[in-house]
Structure 1
Amino acid sequence: MGKYISRSRGRWAIRALQVFALLAVCWQANAGADIEGARVWPAPDHTRLVFDTSAPVEHNIFALNNPSRLVIDISNTGMDADFSSLDLSGTPIQRIRTAPRNGTDLRVVLDLNGDVQPRSFQLEPNQQYGHRLVLDLLGSGGASRSEEPARPTLSDNGSGQRDIIVVVDAGHGGEDPGATGPAGTREKDVVLRLARTLAEVIESQPGYTARLTRDGDYYIDLRSRTLLARRHNADLFVSVHADAFNTAQPRGASVFALSQRGATSETARWLARSENRSDLIGGSGGVSLDGKDDTLAGVLLDLSMTASINASIGVGDYVLRNLEQVTRLHKSGVEQASFVVLKSPDIPSILVEAGFISNPQEERNLGSANYRQQLARAVFKGIEDYFHQTPPPGTLVAWQKRQEGGGASHYRIQRGDTLSAVARDNRTTVRELMQYNGLSDDRVVVGQTIRIPAS
């Protein structure tokens, strides 16, 4: 009988502990959260406002007019921050006001200088920040990016030929700091400096024009980076990063191109989304998927993806050869992965890991302006070597190559090419090209190499 009573009391004690633990969890959930701080990241086409919260929160957003305001109601949340020191210059936000609501809730009001399109979401804690409520004010911050493709930049030597466009992408930015080195160097900062240097080197060479996806400390989502490259009619997309590992030993630069698996998934994504059908492969002179059935559209995308990957690996090889002259290589060949920023089906794209920021020596190197200059010159030399071998038609580099003289040159068919366009760009005729290459008709395939007779 005594054993029975003892066991019964034990079970009741365990049950009481379980109930107490459940009540503690419920009390903690009902204790609410606090806003502990805020940051503002102005970008050319949006402004990001980030609230640091002590826990995940529930919120609701609505807009008011005359005057323009945005109201954020945050449930079961208190205020433990001072917004008066926030620099709101360059943003549509004129003032931020807060007040308690319904006893336990918080109302945040943004007084705006115009209408915006709000988008909100929450972020989980990372190495640098805790829980965050993110509010993007779209269509604000500066001149909005045009949806229309940019016009070709003509070279200034009077030849009438266009420049080769290289879009340089600095990874991370804004609320996304990337990796952090042992001495506190943030990847987003060092790659922006390197991207600016690379753009300056590119711009200094006749026949080349550089465009930056970001030129400040703000975040651009990965898909938008490739869209910017398309709007600039880029001939090449170069994304700049700094690698990291959980130990300090790994070091060296790497170059990545898109993997075949990544290409397959991207092709499926394009075919699944009807709005992509109106996009052009190869920009304004390319192949439209609009009106094509799935089979034909799939074939066109596969051909374009294959040509883009092959070109990416080709330019990556040249970049690695030149990087080896100024730094150690982590891998001697171009690696392939499914990075989202490399998934443009019609623009050769590479991702350059400039070194391991987690390695103390390479962190110091990347912090040196002289070292970044050496890296930038090596990357551009690789780009220049590649385009000297296979210059895009209609560019100053292609025109200069023809002026070098000699016998017939070779040209590999690019995205959007037609035989008539190739003939026009090379000062010859379709009939002469067909006879010179033994072609029975004027059809050409992406990746096909044809001979161009000397002028």
Structure 2
Amino acid sequence: MRVWPAADYTRVTLENDSNLKTNHFIVKDPERLVVDIEGIDLNPTLKQLVAKIQSNDPYIKGVRVGQNRPNVVRLVFDLKEEVNPQVFTLAPVGEYKHRLIFDLYPVNPVDPLAALIEKGEWPTQPALPEPETRPQPKAEPRNSAEAQARREAPEEKQGTTRMVTIALDPGHGGEDPGAIGRSGSREKDVVLAIAKRLKAKIEQQPNMRVMLTRDGDFFVPLHVRVQKARQVQADLFVSIHADAFVEPTARGSSVFVLSEKGASSTAARWLATKENAADLIGGVNIKHHDRQLASVLLDLSTTAQINDSLKLAKAVLGEIGGINRLHKGAVEQAGFAVLKAPDIPSILIETAFISNPEEEAKLTDDAYQDQMANAVLTGIRKYFARNPPLAKSRMM
């Protein structure tokens, strides 16, 4: 029994030796989700679910577990608000056996863009001006009235004046731990820590804000990561990983962009295939999956997006090379599903190999995480200095 509370949704997972059949329904006033699980009897593991519901869970107030009738156990989730439940099963994969999943989504989910706007500080100066550009001295008008009018008039804006939005995507999460190092370090924890450090540094920059695709330990499907970035009209999408290889000697950092024509190397193809399997490990409700929307996201990537992504990737790779050995000296390309937003320059950073004991130690070190965040930020700033963001609607 596992519980994954998050602002996006709460997931409850029951893992079992065999497939479980269920019936579920909602009861109103007060809101409750009732789930009948067939083919099992009440046991100590099921009773443990009561203690696993935390008081700060956004959607579950508590749970009651009982034997409803022979071979049928009933779970009653007392809810804090109205939810849209998704109840589904997952076939065994990786180290998991049969899983029964309850995903409790709010009926009125938070709009990522509205959340950014609510806490955002609006620009008072041009966003990320070219470093070579220096303001020219202004000639003060001789007429005192004209001078006073100029002082009271709004400052004339040079370049683009708007918030730059960066989507940071810590890989894996929740049911999907990602790669695991020899000392037990989990990729999902390491990359979230780096992403949070990077977020804090970016938000110290003028006119820059950040949306995290996940800010805690919960699973986010690949296409939802892309959707979140598009919902906030992100200017960049940066996916952060720390993968493993079959050989513990593999080491070094890498930066990847999307490829429409095949991978740039066998290793890149292997890695993309592995990352694209995250939905199988994390668990996606195929029946509820918006396949049409997902296919649009995966098929509309353009040459322009890839070209911009390459520019960003080269800038970031150059900075990362200053703090860690590079696995490859050039940007690599492969068909990563998470990089397929058609209108957002997108990169995937492999910060280091968690399967390499030396690099695992780096990845869990505060100083290295800070250095990695600084390097990525510097790369992003260099990219924008050479490729200023285009104007967008003032609603942003």
TM range (shorter): 0.7 to 0.9
Separation in 1, partners of 2:198, 2:9: 25
Bigger radius of gyration: 1
**Counterpart position of 1:341:** 338
Q: 1:138 aligns with which of 105, 110, 126?
A: 105
Contact 1:150 1:231 in 2 (8 A): no
Contact 1:170 1:240 in 2 (8 A): yes
Letter in 2 for 1:83: L
- Matches of residues 13-92 of structure 1 in structure 2 within 5 Å? 38-80=1-43, 81=45, 82-89=48-55, 90-92=57-59
Distance 1:124 1:273, change over 3 A: closer
Question: Displacement of 1:106 after TM fit?
Answer: 1.9
Distance 1:165 1:147, change over 3 A: closer
Contact 1:262 1:343 in 2 (8 A): no
SS of 2:41's partner is: strand
Contact 2:40 2:73 in 1 (8 A): yes
Separation in 2, partners of 1:253, 1:184: 20
Q: 1:99 aligns with which of 37, 62, 66?
A: 66
Contact 1:40 1:88 in 2 (8 A): no
Separation in 2, partners of 1:274, 1:242: 29
SS of 1:77's partner is: coil
Moved more, 357-366 or 207-216: 207-216
Cα RMSD between the aligned structures? Answer: 2.9
Contact 2:81 2:106 in 1 (8 A): no
- Matches of residues 298-337 of structure 1 in structure 2 within 5 Å? 301=300, 305-337=302-334
Contact 2:4 2:11 in 1 (8 A): yes
Contact 1:73 1:105 in 2 (8 A): yes
Separation in 2, partners of 1:321, 1:346: 24
- Matches of residues 76-225 of structure 1 in structure 2 within 5 Å? 76-80=39-43, 81=45, 82-89=48-55, 90-125=57-92, 129-139=96-106, 144-145=110-111, 154-157=122-125, 159=157, 161-225=161-225
Moved more, 153-162 or 71-80: 153-162
Distance 1:394 1:119, change over 3 A: same
Q: Which structure shows the higher helix fraction?
A: 1
Normalising by structure 2, report the TM-score: 0.75
Separation in 1, partners of 2:360, 2:94: 18
Give deviations 1:160-216, integer Å, cap 9, x for gaps: 811322111111111211111000001110100000111122122224222211111
Give deviations 1:288-339, integer Å, cap 9, x for gaps: xxxxxxxxxx9xx56xx11101111111011111111110111111111221
**Counterpart position of 1:357:** 354
Separation in 2, partners of 1:148, 1:154: 14
Give deviations 1:82-138, integer Å, cap 9, x for gaps: 223213322322222222244222222212233211112223445664432111001
Letter in 1 for 2:49: F
Letter in 2 for 1:49: V
**Counterpart position of 1:423:** none
Separation in 1, partners of 2:341, 2:293: 17
Separation in 2, partners of 1:86, 1:227: 31
Letter in 1 for 2:254: S
Separation in 2, partners of 1:127, 1:273: 27
Contact 2:112 2:232 in 1 (8 A): no
Greater relative contact order (Cα < 8 A, sep 6+):
2
Separation in 1, partners of 2:82, 2:209: 35
Question: Displacement of 1:150 after TM fit?
Answer: 6.0
Separation in 1, partners of 2:52, 2:16: 17
Letter in 1 for 2:190: V
Contact 1:238 1:350 in 2 (8 A): yes
Letter in 2 for 1:258: L
- Matches of residues 257-272 of structure 1 in structure 2 within 5 Å? 257-261=257-261
Counting aligned pairs with the same residue, the percent is 42
Contact 1:68 1:111 in 2 (8 A): yes
SS of 1:313's partner is: helix
**Counterpart position of 1:238:** 238
Separation in 1, partners of 2:386, 2:332: 22
**Counterpart position of 1:449:** none
Question: Displacement of 1:275 after TM fit?
Answer: 10
Question: Displacement of 1:143 after TM fit?
Answer: 6.3
Separation in 2, partners of 1:222, 1:125: 20
Unaligned runs of 5+ in 1: 1-37, 264-271, 280-297, 396-415, 417-455
Separation in 2, partners of 1:61, 1:87: 19
Contact 2:63 2:75 in 1 (8 A): yes
Letter in 2 for 1:164: V
